[in-house]
Amino acid sequence: MSAEGLMDRTVESEASDRPLRAGEIDLVRRAQAGDPDAFDLLVAGRATQAYRTAWAILRDDADARDVTQETFFQVWRDLPRLRDPDRFDAWAGRILHNRCISLLRRRRTSSVREVRVDGWDEANAYVSGVHPLADAQAEADAIRRAFARLSAEQRALLAFHHVHGRSVADLAAITGAPSGTVKWRLHNARQALERALEGER
C-alpha cells in the first residue's frame, strides 16, 4: 500500500472527538474547492496552536516556523483529497505530527540535545527551597531538558497532549494508532519523562 493510501485509510477510519462546527465544515469545503479566503480563515484559527505545538516538540524557532509553514502548505495542496471535511483537524494534525517527527529524525540530536539555561546552578538548584519562583523556574528547565532526551514520537505525543490539548481520541486519529495503544504510549512517554527528569535531579 502506498503512503498516500495509508493516510487516506486512517483519515477515513478514525474519528476525532472534536467534530468541526457547521460553519467550519463549510470553510473546509470552500477551501477544498480552491477558495483561498476560506483557507485563510481556517489557518487563522489554527496557526498559533500549530506553531506552539511544533515549538514545544522541536524547541527551535526556525524549525517550528518551517514545520508550521510546510504543514499548511501541504494542507492546502492536498485538501481536495480529504474525503470527510469533519476530520480536517485530525488530518492536519497528522501532517504536523509527521513533519515534526521527520524533522527530529533528520536532526538526529533528539537524545543528546541540551537546552541550556544560563545562570542555573545545577548543584544548588534544589537545595535551598528558599525561593519558590526560582525553584519553579528550575523545575521547568529540568523538565525541558528531560523532554529533550525523549524520542521523537514521545516528544510529539506529550506536546500534542499537554500543549495542544489533544485528547486520546484525537491522538489516535493523528497517529493512526488505536486509542488503547495511544494511552499506553502516552503512559510510556510520561514514564520516560519522569525517568529522564530523575537524571536531571
Partner 1 sequence: MSRRPPLTDQTIAESLGEDRAVPTDLISSISSYARTTRQQPGFPVIGPLRLRQTALGWRLLAITALLLLLLLAFGITALIGSPPRLTVVLPSAVPSVAPTPMTTPSTGPPWPAGWTHVADIPREDGDGVVAEFEGQVVIANASRGELAFLDPDAGAGGQIVHRLELGPASRVLPMLRGADRWWVGVDGSRELVAVDPRARTVKRRIPIDGSPYNLAASGEIVYVTDFGGGQVLRVDTSLDRVTAVADLDRAAGVVVLDDGTVLVASRPGTLAQIDPVTLATIAEVTIQGDVMTLIGDGGRVIITRNNADRLSTIDPNDIAAGEVLSDTRISAFALTAESAWGIDWMSGAVLRLDRGGLSIEVEVPPLSQDQDGIVHAAGDLWVEGQAQGRPVVHRIRPPDL
Query: With binding defined as CB under 8 A, does residue 166 bind partner 1?
Result: no
Interaction pattern, residues 79-98, with partner 1; x per rule: CB under 8 A: xxx-x-----------x--x
In whole angstroms, give the CA distance from residue 93 to residue 108: 22
Which residues, including other chains, have CB under 8 Å from residue 170's CB and lie 6 or more apart?
Answer: 16, 17, 18, 89, 90, 93, 160
Query: Which of the 8 DSSP states describes residue 21?
Result: P
Question: Is 200 within 8 Å of 145 (Cβ atoms)?
Answer: yes
Helix (H) or strand (E) holding 107: helix 88-107
Q: Counting contacts by CB under 8 A, is residue 102 touching partner 1?
A: yes
Residue 122 binding partner 1, by CB under 8 A: no
Please identify which residue in 18, 20, 29, 70 interacts with partner 1, judged by CB under 8 A.
Answer: 70
Q: Which of 106, 180, 184, 187 binds partner 1 (CB under 8 A)?
A: 106
Stretch that binds partner 1, among 11-19, 22-30, 84-92, 107-115 (CB under 8 A): 107-115
CB of 23 to partner 1, least distance (A): 19
One residue of 18, 29, 65, 183 binding partner 1 per CB under 8 A = 65
- Sorted by sequence, the CB contacts under 8 Å of residue 96 that are 6+ apart come out as 50, 53, 54, 67, 68, 71
Q: What would the grid cell of residue 28 be?
A: 473546509
| Count of positions (residues) in the chain | 201
| Residue pointed to by grid coordinates 510546510 | 70
By the criterion CB under 8 A, which residues form the site for partner 1? 1-4, 6-7, 32, 34, 36, 39-40, 43-44, 47-48, 50-52, 55-56, 62, 65, 68-70, 72-74, 76-81, 83, 95, 98-99, 102, 105-109, 111-113, 125-127, 129, 139-140, 143-144, 147, 151-153, 158-159, 162-163, 176, 190, 193-194, 197, 201
